[in-house]
Structure 1
Amino acid sequence: MAYVGTFSPNHSLLFSGTKHSLQYPASTRRGVVVVVRAESMTTEKLGIKIEKNPPEEKLTQLGVRKWPKWGCPPSNFPWTYEAKETCYLLEGKVKVTPSGSDESVEIGAGDLVVFPKGMSCTWDVSVGVDKHYNFE
């Protein structure tokens, strides 16, 4: 994900509703477009690891684009992971609720997700999924 910024009259950079000051001389500010890449962020909840916006270098290193693909339309179904799965969602939006939990984890397009071996859960797919996946 990238954000494009513009300079305000007081020579600060404005993007996503946030003001960021830059230290460039006024002569270099005119006509400049600044692009800021959102950093990757990894979290773990209920045993599910989610990395949002992983860098392309990481996806290449893992060989994600060579993994098989799987997809499904909006639906709700139980699933048990007989092996650890790492997947990268190209499209979709899903709420995953581990068995025995009242909480769920939301995943979506652009997420690199790791599900642990042995996890039983329910997938609630609100937007059709297209993903690359790899079982270990």
Structure 2
Amino acid sequence: MASTSRPADSSSSLSITVESNPSKSRLSELGINSWPKWGCPPGKYMLKFDAQETCYLLRGKVKVYPKGSSSEVVEFGAGDLVTIPKGLSCTWDVSVAVDKHYKFEANSSSSSSSY
């Protein structure tokens, strides 16, 4: 289970995890098909994630370069379930147009956070 996840940057808590080819039952359990869809053409995009995002790529190929890291790169593509942490700034280098389902984690008072 954990062996399919690859942390992007072990020196930071802001690491992207990639689960390659999750099972249909896992995707069903997450309700992927009810999530909104988003897509983009090839290109470079500078992004900042204000909430944790989980996405499932239907198609595409992406290299992500986390800001502040000169050596780290995370690659993912069609069939990957990706979790991007809140607060991450990065550049997406999209080589094949992306089509994905995505979900942002809601910030709620019932979440486990310190006061």
Q: TM-score, normalised by structure 2?
A: 0.82
> Which residue of 33, 46, 58 maps to 1:90?
58
4+ runs deviating over 4 angstroms: none
* Residue of structure 2 in register with 1:130 after alignment: 99
Aligned length: 97
Matched, 1:42 2:10: no
Greater gyration radius: 1
1:43 CA displacement: 1.9
> Which residue of 99, 114, 122 maps to 2:67?
99
Alignment of 1:9-20 (within 5 A): none
Alignment gaps of 5+ in structure 1: 1-39
RMSD across aligned positions (CA): 1.0
Q: Distance in 2 between matches of 1:61 and 1:104?
A: 29
> Which residue of 37, 40, 43 maps to 1:72?
40
Structure number with the bigger relative contact order (C-alpha 8 A, sep ≥ 6) is: 2
Q: Residue 101 of structure 1 aligns to a residue in which SS? A: coil
* Residue of structure 2 in register with 1:119 after alignment: 88
Q: Distance in 1 between matches of 2:102 and 2:54?
A: 6
Q: Distance in 2 between matches of 1:98 and 1:42?
A: 17
